[in-house]
Amino acid sequence: MKINILVVDDRPEGLLAVEAVLASPRYNLVLAKSGTEALKYLLLDEFAVILMDVQMPTMNGFETAEIIKTREKSRNIPIIFMSAISQDEQYVYQGYGVGAVDYIMKPFDPYILKSKVGIFVELYQKNLQLMEQAQKIHESEIKSYAQALDRLELESLRKYQHLADSIPQIVFRFLPDGSHEYFNNVWFDFTGFTIERTQGQGWREAIHPEDFNSFIDLLREESQLETECRILSKEGEYRWHLVRMKPEKYNDVRKVDAWLGTATDIEERKRNESYQHLMAKAGEVLVASLDSKTIFQNIANLVVDKFADGCRIEIINENCGFSELAIAKKSEHSSVTFPSIEVLAIDESQTSVIQRDAAGNTILVPMISNGRTLGALSFHFNRCCKEYELERIRVAEELGLKCAMGLENSLLYDLSVRAIEIRNDFLSIASHELNTPITSLKLHLQLVQRYLSEKGLNDQGRFQHSVEASIRQVDRLIGLIQILLDVSKIQSGKFNYTFSQTSLHEIIHDVIERNRDVISSSGCKLIVSNIPDVSVKWDKLRIEQVIINLLMNAVKYAPGRIELNLSEDVGMIKIEVKDYGKGIQSDKIDTIFDRFSRATKETISGLGLGLFIVKQIVEGHGGEVTVLSSDKGSSFKVALPTRFQVLTMNSVKEIDRVVS
Ligand code: ADP
């Protein structure tokens, strides 16, 4: 590279002289004919030294030098002034004042000029070398700093990854759009995914499709940063994970730069929760119905929903074989096959054995209650899993126990229903059978009574008295048989009514006439209020039975003044039987209308069925019966609609038509 030297002289011969002396392949002489031109070249290039003529028109050498020294770029370039020998010393000093580094007198000795310029050129070259070296040192320093920084960064990244790999959870980092940035080894171990498969949005394939949205919602909603989702393992099984995410914001608090998250395996907790839920639900199902078919079909469905891929429930039948009670499969078309249940012998010694097939896909548990095998439950699993096998057996066993209890209960229920049916049949047959001879007995007694009085064989009233007493007892017997007959009809749903138009007057009149003697002979006084003049559509005999029952109770339990109050109120008839006796014990009052309910300590005989029948009849007429009682007496109130419309499908349609 050539060294630039600037020569400034207004006279061409001056320039020529310098050029002649300094001509060298090492130098590039730039010749300027004025100070202005020199300043222009200085802006364009680098120079080792300036040779400046002092005396020049317009801008002399000193003035040019002053400007050169003010410029940053040219400030340090050495200037050698060239001056005529005749000039006085003042110029020399002025030259130094403006930054000259040397002076050379004209006409100059070529040797001196050459050597002076040579020194400055050498200085310039040294300077250049130094600067280059400094530059090199600077560059290498920067490089090594950068390397050190890279090392540090790499080291901390490695530490961070080591840390992330050493914890048992999956650790990941997403970019704001959910694309993969980092997953720790736990992820790759668990899913069996490669880094290539995970990259971009590839990781999404491992998330259960049903849970995917809740996962993605996390990326959208910064408030909810926790969710549960299933992640697919390399064994092809989804396991529940708790995912927690944290947004990373470096510069702007409103902008998420990345998402840092962890996923913790909570499969075991989830499974336990689900088993507990299954047991609780099974408990509910077992008491929700009494029909064993319904119960066990619901149990099988529940098992398939929460526990196994298939479930079959069988019970032991009368022939000591197995009958299928319920079956359920995860999918209708799934090929769930249950091994033959015969492996579970009915033999006592084998009953508690839990069977599983060789592949471990089916578990069979017996249903044992009170040491008796009632049936068996088979659970089918599409995939056998060593990890959960014990757990599955435990759950299956618990379900077996629960179901056995449920089955026992429903068998007992079936038995008691059957027993009640038999009792009702017996009641009905017995009361019918008793009715016939008793009625005929009463007829014969009445015949005897008539014969005795006609023949005058009264024997001072002794026979007459006996026959009357016998007729009374037979009437009581007929009453009791009637009660039994009514109860058996109510229980078997055959208690029917014959509604007919009649007047309230007639009903009350008949009741009083038929019971006048009994009431007065027991020393009671019956006070009847005004009877509203209304026509009613009731089962006359049944409503008479209600009023007689209430009146006879008052005669029995509260003899004395008895009131029969009647009133009418917008389509309703109110009948009150009021007495002034000791009342009914307050703790018994709520159950007084129940079957066999009695509230008396006294030895007054009764079956505890009268008020039960009263309630049935009143409700059968669309009415209501209530009681108020204190130690000053009781008041039974019956409210009955004047006509009770039994709703049939046709009448419902008729009502709909009128309403619309
Ligand atoms: P029973 O008279 O056969 O016992 P009911 O069903 O007619 O059966 O009556 C149930 C019970 O209600 C009676 O045992 C009696 O204790 C009580 N009871 C009914 N009516 C009265 C009344 N007017 N005063 C006091 N107790 C009564």
Answer yes or no: is the C-beta of 553 below 6 A from any ligand 1 atom: yes
Answer yes or no: is the C-beta of 607 below 6 A from any ligand 1 atom: yes
Q: How far apart are the first and last CA of the chain?
A: 114
CA distance 144 to 149: 8
Answer yes or no: is the C-beta of 634 below 6 A from any ligand 1 atom: yes
CA distance 225 to 211: 15
- Residues above pLDDT 70, as percent of the chain: 91
Residues in the chain where the model's pLDDT stays below 70: 85-88, 221-224, 332-360, 458-461, 645-660
Q: Which atom of ligand 1 is nearest to the CA of 583?
A: 25
Q: Which residues contact 517 (CB under 8 A, 6 or more apart)?
A: none
Ligand 1 centroid from CA 219, angstroms:
74
Strand-strand pairing, 27-32 and 3-8: parallel
Strand-strand pairing, 100-106 and 79-84: parallel
Mutate-to-test residue for ligand 1 from 562, 592, 612, 627, highest number of ligand atoms within 8 A of CB: 592
pLDDT number for residue 122: 93
pLDDT number for residue 380: 87
pLDDT number for residue 263: 93
Q: Is 636 left (phi over 0), alpha (psi -120 to 50) or beta?
A: beta
With contact defined as beta carbons under 8 Å apart, do 488 and 615 qualify? no
Mutate-to-test residue for ligand 1 from 598, 605, 614, highest number of ligand atoms within 8 A of CB: 598
Nearest protein CA to atom 2 of ligand 1, as residue: 606
With contact defined as beta carbons under 8 Å apart, do 368 and 404 qualify? yes
For residue 417, give the 3-state DSSP assignment: helix
Answer yes or no: is the C-beta of 554 below 6 A from any ligand 1 atom: yes
Ligand 1 centroid from CA 178, angstroms:
80
Torsion angle, CA of 140/144/145/149, rounded to 10 degrees? 150
Mutate-to-test residue for ligand 1 from 522, 552, 557, 618, highest number of ligand atoms within 8 A of CB: 557
CA distance 656 to 325: 43
Nearest to 4 by CA among 40, 53, 48: 48
Ligand 1 centroid from CA 9, angstroms:
150
With contact defined as beta carbons under 8 Å apart, do 329 and 336 qualify? yes
Nearest protein CA to atom 23 of ligand 1, as residue: 554
pLDDT in tens, 375-393: 889 888 887 777 777 888 8
With contact defined as beta carbons under 8 Å apart, do 350 and 376 qualify? no
pLDDT number for residue 287: 87
Nearest to 292 by CA among 122, 461, 407, 427: 407
With contact defined as beta carbons under 8 Å apart, do 193 and 203 qualify? yes
pLDDT in tens, 128-182: 999 999 999 999 998 998 898 889 888 888 888 888 888 899 999 988 888 888 9
Ligand 1 centroid from CA 552, angstroms:
9
Q: In what order do the strands lie in the sheet with 170-174?
A: 180-183, 170-174, 258-265, 238-248, 226-232
pTM given for the model: 0.49
Q: Which atom of ligand 1 is nearest to the CA of 633?
A: 24
- Secondary structure of 133-153 as H, E, C letters: HHHHHHHHHHHHHHHHHHHHH
DSSP code of residue 530:
P
CA distance 346 to 55: 137
pLDDT number for residue 226: 85
Mutate-to-test residue for ligand 1 from 553, 598, 627, highest number of ligand atoms within 8 A of CB: 553
| φ, ψ for residue 322, nearest 5 deg | -105, 135
